[in-house]
Amino acid sequence: MSRLQHVIPSGIVALVGLWVAYISYTAQPAEAFLFPRLISTVFVVLSLWTFGKACLGWSRVGQGLSREMLVNLVPGLLVALVYIFWAARTVGFYTSTTVAFFILLSLYDPAPHSEVRSWIRRIIITAGFMAVMYGLFAQLLRVYTPREVFF
């Protein structure tokens, strides 16, 4: 069972990596996907390497994913799926990223949800994260981001 706990998650990650790489290499306009191609290629190489190690039994780190860990990941995966397949295109990249990041931070932050101070800290962290994202993608790299309703 221990080997499967490494093979299955790394196989899923490798499949997602291959899918993202395929999209980045086939999407148009091609010049808009230059940066995603670079990142997805590195991601595919690393994920296939990890999957190969798991299949060969060379993964000796940790115990794999337990049922409890998978249950804890489900809300984050649902937010990610909504973000990828609907929100980024419908609402716009920066707006949907802000909302998704704030939801994920609120879900997984161990700080109490009953304190105003923790909510203020989450808002500040989200604003800082988005400032870095905007500076990186729009200003420094000048890469295409999905632009729809808001920006």
Residues 29 and 93 both lie in one domain: no
Provide the domain count of the chain. Answer: 2
Q: Are residues 89 and 150 in the same domain?
A: yes
The share of the chain scoring above pLDDT 90, in percent, equals 41
13-34 pLDDT tens trace: 999 889 988 988 888 877 767 7
Predicted local confidence at residue 148, as pLDDT: 57
- Tell me: do 87 and 53 sit in the same domain: no
Q: Give the range of the structural domain holding residue 149, as residue numbers without chain letter.
A: 66-151
Q: Quick one: tokens of 71?
A: 């249950």
CA separation (Å) from 84 to 78, 81, 90? Answer: 10, 5, 10
How far the first Cα of the chain sits from its last, in Å, is 47
